[in-house]
Every structure is written in structure tokens, then in C-alpha cells.
Chain A
């Protein structure tokens, strides 16, 4: 039997509960992480993941059109369940402003700072970032979605995904605790 995600979704649309359970086993953990990142609340995140799969069962599966991967599609449903509305995210002037800040290839302070920072410091700095930055970082590095899928999920151009990643990294580097060595190198 075809065990791909798409085949599972088709079986769910046909009323196969076991297929839903398989889909859940494959994706629930990453969805829960994403929901946690979005809601910052364990209870709400678990509820959102449950709502996602119940929604898939109650008819979303029948409407799955194969425009994205099943994982991204599930992320999209989960995102809505967390109360995020895709179209409301980017203010219209942002992409241009962000694109203007895409860096050149020269080594800059954030590279140095980040490369030396320890994991816990990154985690602490991450909490200080704006939601939109944190979300795109999470999708790119924790959920490991390709940039095209992130763009589809958030309803923004791929270029905006990239510029947002770069901006997020710069903001994160600024939020890192400054150590003397880094400060000295940055000021060099």
C-alpha cells in the first residue's frame, strides 16, 4: 500500500481512522513544537494540534488539493488553529525595506557573535525577537521546511522569507550578551 503522506490524506478523506493515526504519528510532534512556538502555552498548543487533526478528519482532508506538501498543509491548518491569520502578517511596505537590508557577503558582527555563542544564550536571545522573526527561524531550522514551503505557509514571497531570516539573525546577534572578545572584533 502507498504509505506516502498524500495517500494517507486520501485515506483519511475516505474515512480511514487508522490513516489519521499514522498521519498523527508522523507529524504531531513537529506540529506541537510549532504550536508551542506560536502560542507559548502548552495547553493551547496541544489543543491546536488536536483541533488540526480533528479538522483534517472532518473535511479538510477532502479538500486537500496537493498544492503544497502535506506537512506544510498541516502547518497551515495548525497555524490557523493557533489564531494566526496568514494575510494579516506582512505590512505592505516591509518586503522592500527588508530586501534593502539583505547583507553583502562581508563578515559582520552577527556572524562572529553567533558562531561563538553557546546554545543557551541563543535560546535566551530568541525569546527577545519579534514573533514574525521567531516563527520564520523556527520553520527554517526546527521544522526544517524549505523556503518555498515557508513562503506558501506564511503567504509571503520567497525573497521575504530570506530577508526575514537575515534580519532575524542580525536581531538575534544584537540580542546576544556581548562578550569582550566579540565586541573587540566587531569594533576592529
Chain B
């Protein structure tokens, strides 16, 4: 057997695994040279161990000082910062909505307030039936146009959508939610201003007259604006609105009137269909964004 010179340091340290250690021990019995070598390593090991032992503080290191430092970060910092705790989703949603206010732009909000406010001031002086008709013409149109303007995959807002890590679906849904809640809030405030001072008009009744048409009209406008382009949503909403406006004049075929009546006084089926259209639009929104991007690049 060749001399295990290289293994003697580990042998002296006691870090050689048992089978190899036995082989080395057998060799040492018959080889004086290696025995001397091993003795020298062994003396070295003893000396180092003793020196180390002497330098080691007698009391073992305490864990208390470490524990005191652990208590500052409560858990291992592994969660992405800022998104911890139970209220995080709500905070993210709120942040998303409030940022959309600025992205959508003040003009949309200003127009909504002005137009609905003007309509309400007319309605306030009109008879009970006329007030309802007026609001049912104005509020849904404003909502549908605002939805088209805010949710369309065009312009700066679309650039922002592509630049942010937030998904297109979430952003489109956030804008729809924001625009509808704001217009409904303005409409409700206007209805209250119209209905409360007078006795012949219930607030709930007035609310239903304009909220009914608002739902399908906004859904159509939303779908066209997101999946195609904002102008399409604006045009469709305006077209329905004009037809509705002209219906009493009977210029058109009589078959148009029932459709518009259904739109303006929607039953549960139509409301559900509108919600389904809005949902499908949200789901398909990323495809539309990609399509328009490809169009812009080619």
C-alpha cells in the first residue's frame, strides 16, 4: 500500500470516515515513517485544540442578545413590502381606484357634473312625469359616454396600461367601477335634489327611471369602447339615445320603439345580459389591448 501521507492530517483531526480510518490505522502499524508523520499531525492537532480551548470564553455564547434582535422584525422578512396584513387587498383596490381618478382626467368628471346638474335643474321645475323622463334621458347618456371615454383602449391611458404590471382586466374593471359609481352618485344626488323638495315624486321611483337604462347603455358603450375603440362606444350610446329621443315623433318604423322601451325599462333578463356583456368585456380586454397594439406597430 502507498503511504497515505495526504490523509494523515484528516486522520489526526478525526474527520476521516471509519472505513478509510481503519485502513490508515492498519498502515500505521506497519510503517514507522507514517507513524512519525501522524504523530506530528496529532501533536499539531492537540496544540491547536488546546490553544483554541484556552482562547474560548468560559461561558457559552448566549442566545438572549440574538433573541432581542429578532423581536424587531416579527417574522422572517419574506413578504413583498407594503402588501402585508389582512387589509392589503382592500388597500390595493382603493389605491387603484383613486389613481384612476387622475388617469381618467378632470374633463370627464366636470362634464358629468355639469350635464347632470343642468338636467336636474330643469327637472326640478318640471312636472313629476317629465322630471323622470328628463333624468332617464340625461344620466344614462352621461354614464355611457363617460364609460366610453374612460375605458377605451386609446391614448395615454392605454400607454399606462401597457406600462404597468397591473393586468388590463383589473384596470378596465377599476375604471368601469369608478365611472359608474361616480355617475350614479351624481345622479342620485341630482335625484334627491329634485325629489326631496317636492311631495309628488318618490326618490326611489326617480332613481329607477334613470338607473334602468343606465345599465344596458353603459354595457354596450363599455363593450365597444374596450373591445374596439372609444368612438364606437360613444356613437352607439348616442345613437340609441337619439332614437329614444325621436321615438315619440314616430319618424321610424314602429318596430324600433319596443326595442328602445325595453332598453329604457329593462327587465331582469336584460339587466343580467348587460352584466354578462360587461363581464365578458373585462375578460376579453387583454386581447383587445394586444390587438390595438399590433395595429399600432404594423
Contacts and interface: CB of A to CB of B under 8 A. Distances in A.
Interface stretch (B4-12, B213-221, B236-244): B4-12
Nearest to B42: A115
Interface string B45-62: 111111110111100110
Interface stretch (A81-89, A90-98, A117-125): A117-125
B37 A111 contact: yes
B15 interface: yes
B44 A172 contact: yes
Contact of A21 (B14, B57, B63): B63
Would you call the interface of chain A mostly helix, strand, loop, or mixed? helix
Given A21-B63, A59-B78, A141-B45, A115 B51 contact: no
Given A28-B60, A28-B61, A122-B44, A144 B14 contact: yes
Interface string A149-169: 000000000000010011001
Contacts of B25: none
B40 A29 contact: no
B76 A32 contact: no
B86 interface: no
B47 A122 contact: yes
A146 interface: yes
B254 interface: no
A112 to B, nearest CB: 7
Contacts of A147: 9-10, 15
B294 interface: no
Interface centre among B15, B39, B47 (most CB of A within 10 A): B47
B228 interface: no
Interface string B24-47: 000000000110110111011111
A107 B61 contact: no
B71 to A, nearest CB: 9
Contact of B55 (A17, A20, A36): A36
Interface in B128-145: none
Contacts of A33: 52, 55-56
B33 A126 contact: no
Contacts of B46: 119, 122
Interface string B62-97: 010111011001011110000000000000000000
B48 to A, nearest CB: 4
B3 interface: yes
B5 A105 contact: yes
A123 B75 contact: no
Contact of B50 (A13, A123, A169): A123
Contacts of B287: none
A13 B47 CA distance: 38
Interface in B101-115: none
Given A29-B60, A50-B65, A122 B40 contact: no
8 contacts: A58-B76, A111-B36, A115-B40, A115-B43, A119-B50, A122-B46, A138-B52, A141-B48
Interface of A: 12-13, 15, 17, 20-21, 24-25, 28-29, 31-33, 36-37, 42, 46, 49-50, 53-54, 57-59, 61-62, 102-107, 110-112, 114-117, 119, 121-123, 126, 137-138, 140-142, 144-147, 162, 165-166, 169, 172
Task: Sort A-B residue pairs by CB-CB distance and give the 6 closest, nearest first.
Answer: A122-B47, A123-B51, A111-B40, A28-B61, A141-B45, A142-B52
